[in-house]
Amino acid sequence: MWCELSQGNFFDEYQMEGVSAEQNEIYLELVPENLSRALKMAQNAKTVKIKLTNKQSPCLTVAVELISLSGSSRIVTHDLPVKIIPRRLWNDYREPRVPNFDVSIYLPALKTMKNVVERMKNLSNFMVIEANGNGVINLKIETDLVSVSTHFKDLGNPPWACNEATQNSTQEKYPDKMSEARVDIRKLLQFLAGQQVNPTKAICNISHERMVHFLLMHEEVSLQYFIPAHA
């Protein structure tokens, strides 16, 4: 999973000093539950400040200003231990490259898709996702005992024609031809069940028999999910 947030949508003040002017970045590793707990307290705060500090060891310090019913304020501070990622390992943490995909299609309503996958999960550990350039996507379970499929049509295809990733894609040459990937149904459900944002656009890119790439776009957040295909 890869998530990108624009600081301008979240912070009134922002100051960043990376390792150098050319590489103005800092890579941190932290336990997400710790940050989640600190930010839950900040939901009704007057101000929230997040700073990288050194308190015997590196910490992400979250300072929350809370206002009481009497009008007085108090500062609650959370020091979250973090690991500084050395520069030699940065390439391991950069945004994953999206492989050339064969078809790109808009997803149906994620809640509807989740309900369908939930009902099919007891039939198999794997699901085939297939789509084409005419706005059709199918979800299929195929075993020795049963074959089940759900069809969605008229979903539309994103206008990626000028994108080099699809210039030679199956979608452009043969819009009726299906491209597919067989994925672990548990990983697909994790993606569908974990959605807390209401995306303005939800896109599925399929690299035939290699990978499914989901892209969710919101005004303030973009999320990418990569699910490898199984033979």
pLDDT tens for 53-73 read 998 899 999 999 988 878 888
Cα distance between residue 216 and residue 195, in whole Å: 10
pLDDT at 171: 60
- Residue corresponding to tokens 């989640």: 36
CATH number at residue 134: 3.70.10.10
78 and 116 inside one domain: no
54 and 137 inside one domain: no
Alpha-carbon torsion, ordered 88, 92, 97, 99, to 10 deg: 120
Q: Quick one: pLDDT band at residue 160, thresholds 50, 70, 90?
A: low
Q: Quick one: pLDDT band at residue 106, thresholds 50, 70, 90?
A: very high
Specify the number of domains making up the chain. 2
Kindly state the tokens that stand for 204: 């599925």
In a domain, 121, yes or no: yes
pLDDT at 18: 85
Domain end among 45, 63, 93? 93
In a domain, 98, yes or no: no
Query: 58 vs 19, which has greater pLDDT?
Result: 58
Domain of residue 169, residue span: 103-228
Closest CA to 29 of 97, 79, 93: 93
